[in-house]
A and B are shown apart, each in its own frame.
Chain A
Amino acid sequence: MAHDRLAQALVDAVGEISGERDALVAVSNVGCGRDTLADAIRDAVAGRPAVVFVDLPSGSCLQATAAYVRSRPDIAVVAGVNLAMLLDFLYHRDGTPAQAAARALQTGGRSIRLWPS
């Protein structure tokens, strides 16, 4: 779930790198208010346990997601998505959404580095 075309770009990049093209669903906030954002998340999740990755740690995408998951304890949310965490997530989806989200948080954080250090 991200602003403009970012979510689709991340999903495309994951597919390009891994060959996995069915694990992630892109949701954009374009043209959406709060209610329609929540509808878009619900449609993407489709009743399944899930991890929702959001681009920013605040703002409309996170607010709509956080409001929706209040009624869905089987959904975990990670804000501040990056490509490294998505790639790692692809191969570590066996646990609960909460476990997968905790791993994604660690992996995504570790992937941000200064170079040269």
Chain B
Amino acid sequence: MSIALVRLDDRLVHGQVVVGWGRAIGADRIVLVDDAIAVSDWEKDLYRTGVPPGMEIEFASIADAANGGLRRWESDRARTMVLVGNVEALVRLCDAGGEVIRRVNLGGVHGGAERTRRLPYVFLSDAELDALRGIAAAGVVVEAQDVPTATAVPLADLA
């Protein structure tokens, strides 16, 4: 399998992702799945600056991911980290992903309206928590883990 990690992180391409997880999983490629960034040249340029030599970055919309992207990344030899920036995008991606996405990593969801602190790096509203429970009920393992050396926290413990 070549999708080595599917991560929700609202900081997107940053140190924990590139240095921490990128090295731990041996990522050759990051795919940033975000509808707004996929059509924004200046934001793509910005996120390209965060990727070290030897690692590629690709930008995709959720529709791109659904329409063959996920299957291509999964069957590709490049070890790929798929990155999304919010719960809604993660749920849409999982809905589109069929059996390709079996496990997702909650790496960083920070404070916002109606959100409650679940972990120091995970703040979720009740609606977001319910949405994550929905993808878990569909068979996707949902765990929180900011860095590879931390212990993964199951979704059930985030209530």
A and B associate: yes
Q: Does A36 contact B (CB under 8 A)?
A: yes
The answer to whether B15 touches A32, judged by C-beta atoms less than 8 angstroms apart, is: no
6 further interface pairs, Cβ-Cβ under 8 Å (given A32-B110, A36-B111):
A3-B15, A34-B85, A60-B12, A63-B13, A63-B14, A63-B47
A109 at the B interface (CB under 8 A): no
Question: What total of chain B residues lie within 8 Å of the partner, measured CB to CB?
Answer: 21
Provide the residues of chain B in CB contact with A37, threshold 8 Å: 11
A19 within 8 A of B: no
B5-40, CB < 8 A from A: 10-15, 18
Indicate which residue in A34, A57, A59, A66 contacts B10 across the interface (CB closer than 8 Å). A34
Instruction: Write out the residue numbers on chain B whose beta carbons fall within 8 Å of the beta carbon of A47.
Output: none
Which residues on A are within 8 Å of B, measured CB to CB?
Answer: 3, 29, 31-37, 56-60, 62-63, 66-67, 70
Which positions in B face A, CB cutoff 8 Å?
10-15, 18, 42-43, 46-47, 49-51, 85, 108-112, 120
Q: A63-B46, A63-B47, A67-B46 are in contact. Are A34 and B12 (CB under 8 A)?
A: yes
Question: Once bound together, how far apart are the Cα atoms of A66 and B42, in whole Å?
Answer: 10
Chain A residues with CB under 8 Å of B110's CB are 31-33, 36
Q: Is the CB of A66 within 8 A of B46?
A: yes
Contact B15–A60 (Cβ < 8 Å)? yes
Closest 10 A-B residue pairs measured CB to CB?
A33-B110, A33-B10, A60-B14, A60-B11, A58-B50, A59-B14, A58-B49, A59-B15, A63-B46, A59-B50
Task: Please report the C-alpha to C-alpha distance between residue A36 and residue B18 in the assembled complex, in whole angstroms.
Answer: 21
Bound complex: CA of A62 vs CA of B43, how far in Å?
A: 12
B42, A59: Cβ atoms closer than 8 Å:
no
A6 vs chain B, min Cβ distance (A): 12
- CB contacts (< 8 Å) of A32 on chain B: these are 11, 110-111
Closest beta carbon of chain A to B48's beta carbon, Å: 9
Give the docked Cα–Cα distance between A59 and B120 (Å).
20
Nearest CB in chain A: distance from B146 CB, A: 12
> In the complex, which residues of chain B have a beta carbon less than 8 angstroms from the beta carbon of A67?
43, 46
Given A59-B13, A60-B14, A33 and B46 touching (CB < 8 A)? no
Q: Give the complex CA separation of A63 and B111 in angstroms.
A: 18
